[in-house]
Amino acid sequence: DAGITQSPRYKITETGRQVTLMCHQTWSHSYMFWYRQDLGHGLRLIYYSAAADITDKGEVPDGYVVSRSKTENFPLTLESATRSQTSVYFCASSASSYEQYFGPGTRLTVT
**Interface mask toward another protein for 1-30; x: CB under 8 A:** ------------------------------
What's the rounded Cα separation, in Å, for the pair 99 and 5?
A: 17
**Interface mask toward another protein for 63-92; x: CB under 8 A:** ---------------------------x--
- Provide, rounded to whole angstroms, the least separation between the CB of residue 52 and another protein: 13
Determine, following the binding rule CB under 8 A, whether residue 33 of this chain makes contact with another protein. yes
Choose, by CB under 8 A, the member of 18, 56, 82, 95 that binds another protein.
56
SS3 category, 60: coil
Choose, by CB under 8 A, the member of 12, 54, 70, 79 that binds another protein.
54
Q: How many residues bind another protein (CB under 8 A)?
A: 27
Query: Across the chain, where does the E strand assignment appear?
Result: 4-7, 10-13, 19-25, 31-38, 42-51, 54-57, 64-66, 76-78, 87-94, 101-102, 106-110
> If phi over 0 gives left and psi between -120 and 50 gives alpha, with beta otherwise, what is residue 2?
beta
Determine, following the binding rule CB under 8 A, whether residue 104 of this chain makes contact with another protein. yes
